[in-house]
Amino acid sequence: MKPHYVLAAAIAASSVLALAAAPEPLPAPWQLAGGHPQKFSAGIDQDEGFKGAKFLRNAADDPKAWAALAQPISAQNYLGQRIRFRAFVKTRDVSGWAGLWMRIDNRAGRGIAFYNSADRPIKGSADWQERSVVLDVPPDAAVIVFGVVNNGKGQVWIDRLGFETVGQDVPVDTLDRGHALPTAPVL
């Protein structure tokens, strides 16, 4: 075979392989959000072992950047109920931390409930593990936003997502601020 044919065949084969492994874009209404979404890439991974998993990758390799995958939904069907967002999460080389998050906004767009897993972070490289976030939906809620956050370098995947109402016996997630606030002022 002539050398230029071998080179053309190699280029064509590598192009086909690159196209086969290229991620699909996020389906609507998933979106990039957070402090530095322009420094991250996201999509549906088609690599072996992750086929169909949503991912969030720090494309800028900036250890101080953070972003989130987010999906907003109407709170109308969940008013006055306790809800749980769950997903299996996997990380690779996360320099800060990653985790699931959820926020509930009122009609004015103000956050009225929030949890982001900062007190239960996933760091470094971790195999698939189920995580969840549980919040109460107040009667004045308008929007529920949920997803996964990546703070720092690396990549996080989520797969096998679930969203459901749960009973009052399931505890609500709250961020551990390290200490309880006093119940009365010290004068």
φ/ψ region of 117 (left if φ > 0, alpha if ψ in -120 to 50, else beta) reads: left
Domain assignment present for 180: no
Domain assignment present for 184: no
CA separation for the pair 96, 69 (Å, rounded)? 16
Looking at the structure of the chain, the number of domains it has is: 1
Domain assignment present for 1: no
Assign residue 46 the CATH number of its domain.
2.60.120.260
- In this prediction, residue 18 carries a pLDDT of 42
- In this prediction, residue 180 carries a pLDDT of 58
Domain assignment present for 14: no
Domain assignment present for 127: yes
CA nearest to 95, candidates 60, 146, 51: 60
- In this prediction, residue 119 carries a pLDDT of 93
Q: Which amino acid is it at 19?
A: L
Are 130 and 88 in contact by the 8 Å Cβ rule? The answer is: yes
pLDDT in tens, the chain (187 residues): 555 554 444 444 444 444 445 778 999 999 999 999 999 999 999 877 777 899 999 999 999 999 999 999 999 999 999 999 999 999 999 999 999 999 999 999 999 999 999 999 999 999 999 999 999 999 999 999 999 999 999 999 999 999 999 999 999 999 876 555 566 676 6
Element (H or E) spanning 8, and its range? helix 3-21
Grouping H, G, I as helix, E, B as strand and the rest as coil, residue 38 is helix
Boundaries of domain holding 62:
23-166
> How many residues in total does the chain contain?
187
